[in-house]
């Protein structure tokens, strides 16, 4: 990590300016990436945070915590790894992919408590904030359907040419992998630079993600997020998985 942990964690007042964050080089080394606490989840603050490599992540009962980990987990849209078994499954799957038709359902699915987890970090406050970002055209959902039922998906923000992934879930085998692959196809077609996956994990690395130094990630954001009009042309009609391969 390039920056030393600050002597005292910066606390943001709710009415502070959206750009009141400390420089991300001052994020803590332990816990990795903790940068600030407090503030609010206003649209202006969230958009500023994401453009500068910062995201909120906290549990019920905690203050809002803001993070910028070192390194950053990212995926270049054209480098999603489709394993042979997944490719065979895609060719025969009856699932359908849609975008932005049931955003609230996807966020709620991501918020469901999972085996081995104690609670969820997607609080009611977070849901309301990202719903507003969705209504403003910044936040998007990828939805995997089996008939009339949603069986998986993911959501995140598109700012300029970077998609900031927030969370995903799966109620059926391969549903979340399909969501991520379908999103990568859409991002690749629109010349997106990165899909931000936030924190490195073996699962994400197996799908083609890489560990990127935070300094490099910040440099990419400075250019890729400069054009920050909302993404408006994701397909709402059903897409068959086999059409993606």
Please report, in tens digits, the pLDDT of each residue of the chain (245 residues total).
344 444 478 999 988 999 999 999 999 999 999 999 999 999 999 999 999 999 999 999 999 999 999 999 999 999 999 999 999 999 999 999 999 999 999 999 999 966 455 546 899 999 999 999 999 999 999 999 999 999 999 999 999 999 999 999 999 999 999 999 999 999 999 999 999 999 999 999 999 999 999 999 999 999 999 876 778 889 888 999 999 98
Structure confidence at residue 7 (pLDDT): 42
DSSP for the chain? --SPPPSS-EEE-TTS-TT-PPPGGG--BTTBTEEEEE----HHHHHHHHHTT-EE---TTSPPEEE--SSEEEE-GGG----HHHHHHHHH---EEEESSSHHHHHHHHHS--TT--S-S--HHHHHHHHHHHHTT-EEEEEEEETTEEEEEEEEEEETTEEEEEEEEESSTTHHHHHHHHHHHHHHHTT--EEEEES--HHHHHTT-EEE-HHHHHHHHHHHTSS-PPP-----S-B-GGGG-
Q: What is the mean pLDDT of the chain?
A: 93
- Topology, domain 10-69: Alpha-Beta Plaits (3.30.70)
Query: Domain spans of the chain?
Result: 10-69, 73-244
Structure confidence at residue 113 (pLDDT): 66
Architecture category of domain 73-244 in CATH: 3-Layer(aba) Sandwich (3.40)
Structure confidence at residue 14 (pLDDT): 86
Structure confidence at residue 5 (pLDDT): 44
Structure confidence at residue 1 (pLDDT): 37
pLDDT in tens, 174-223: 999 999 999 999 999 999 999 999 999 999 999 999 999 999 999 999 99
Structure confidence at residue 3 (pLDDT): 47
């Amino acid at each position: 990590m390039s920056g030393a942990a600050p002597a005292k964690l910066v606390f943001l007042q709710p009415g502070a300016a959206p750009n009141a964050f400390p420089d991300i080089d001052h994020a803590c080394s332990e816990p990795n990436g903790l940068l600030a606490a407090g503030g609010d989840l206003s649209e202006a603050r969230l958009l500023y945070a994401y453009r500068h490599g910062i995201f909120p992540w906290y549990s019920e009962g905690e203050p809002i915590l803001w993070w910028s980990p070192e390194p950053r987990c990212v995926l270049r849209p054209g480098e999603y790894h489709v394993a042979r078994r997944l490719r065979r499954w895609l060719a025969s799957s009856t699932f359908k992919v849609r975008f932005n038709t049931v955003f609230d359902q996807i966020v709620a699915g991501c918020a469901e408590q999972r085996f081995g987890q104690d609670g969820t970090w997607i609080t009611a406050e977070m849901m309301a904030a990202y719903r507003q970002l969705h209504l403003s055209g910044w936040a998007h959902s990828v939805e995997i359907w089996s008939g009339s039922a949603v069986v998986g998906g993911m959501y995140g923000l598109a700012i300029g040419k970077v998609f900031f992934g927030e969370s995903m879930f799966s109620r059926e085998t391969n549903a979340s992998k399909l969501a991520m692959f379908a999103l990568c196809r859409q991002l690749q077609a629109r010349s997106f630079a990165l899909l931000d996956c936030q924190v490195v994990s073996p699962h994400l690395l197996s799908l083609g993600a890489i560990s990127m130094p935070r300094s490099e990630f910040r440099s990419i954001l400075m250019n890729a997020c400069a054009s920050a009009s909302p993404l408006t042309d994701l397909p709402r009609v059903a897409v068959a998985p086999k059409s993606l391969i």
